[in-house]
Chain A
Amino acid sequence: DIQMTQSPSTLSASVGDRVTITCRASQSISSWLAWHQQKPGKAPKLLIYKASNLESGVPSRFSGSGSGTEFTLTISSLQPDDFATYYCLQYNSYPHTFGQGTKVEIK
């Protein structure tokens, strides 16, 4: 099974900050990686698919990069609505696996 290691687990930041979250796969997953945002009590929401493709309707301050085993999600200028938990998901092979999540908190 492919393990996804996400870091950091918690991130404290201020509005306007540039934020980067990293996900590392235990073996190559090509570009079959998605990033999801989840707010408390709500379903997750897709932000990025195939490592770097912005889902329709998602603000352009979100971007994704990477391939193989190293991936990053970047928020260029953190907004109040962005305080949430973020998960990476590998869908290269079964079982699909999520990272353990990164909670972005207000500093």
Chain B
Amino acid sequence: EVQLVESGGGLVKPGGSLRLSCEGSGLLFSSYTMNWVRQAPGRGLEWVSSISSNGNYIYYEDSVKGRFTISRDNAKNSLYLQMNSLRAEDTAVYYCARFESMDVWGQGTTVTVSS
């Protein structure tokens, strides 16, 4: 079964850090660009970051540049998002998704930034 499973979300105080993980199975993980997309409560989808199949090309949405770091470990079929200096506006469900067109999505993990 083709599957992506996110983990690592939780409640964190403003200024804190979290590391999200996304593990893939059944989907040739190492061959594809991978993405993080978020959705704030009651809002639309927002692209956050992408990393190429070999990790050589990395892109970020402007509001997370310098605070978030995307990485991957193809040997472990895993994608990561290190989130530092978290703000209230980072509160969202975070999804990982495969490929530029986002043909496979995980179920999401919830990040809440609140004091």
Please give the residue numbers on chain A whose beta carbons come within 8 Å of chain B beta carbons, in ascending order.
32, 34, 36, 38, 43-46, 49-50, 55, 87, 89, 91, 94-101
Partner of A34, one of B44, B50, B61, B101: B101
Count A-B contacts at CB 8 Å: 55
Q: List 6 A-B contacts (CB under 8 A).
A: A43-B107, A46-B101, A87-B44, A96-B50, A98-B47, A101-B45
- CB pair A44–B105 under 8 Å, yes or no, is yes
Residue of A nearest to B108 (CB): A43
Say whether B106 contacts A89, CB under 8 Å: no
Which 7 pairs of residues, A with B, have the shortest CB-CB distance? A49-B101, A43-B105, A91-B100, A94-B59, A96-B47, A34-B101, A98-B45
Question: Known interface pairs A44-B102, A50-B101, A100-B44. Does A95 touch B107 (Cβ–Cβ under 8 Å)?
Answer: no
| Of A46, A95, A96, most B-chain CB atoms within 10 Å | A96
- B interface with A by C-beta (< 8 Å): 35, 44-47, 50, 59-62, 95, 97, 100-108
Chain B residues with CB under 8 A of A101: 44-45
Q: Are A89 and B102 in contact (CB under 8 A)?
A: yes
Residues of B within 8 A of A45 (CB): 105
Chain A residues, Cβ within 8 Å of B107: 43
Chain B nearest CB, measured from A62 CB (Å): 15
Cβ contacts under 8 Å, B45 to chain A:
36, 38, 44, 87, 89, 98, 101
In the complex, residue of chain B having the shortest beta-carbon distance to the beta carbon of A32 = B100
Which of chain A's residues has its CB closest to B6's CB? A43
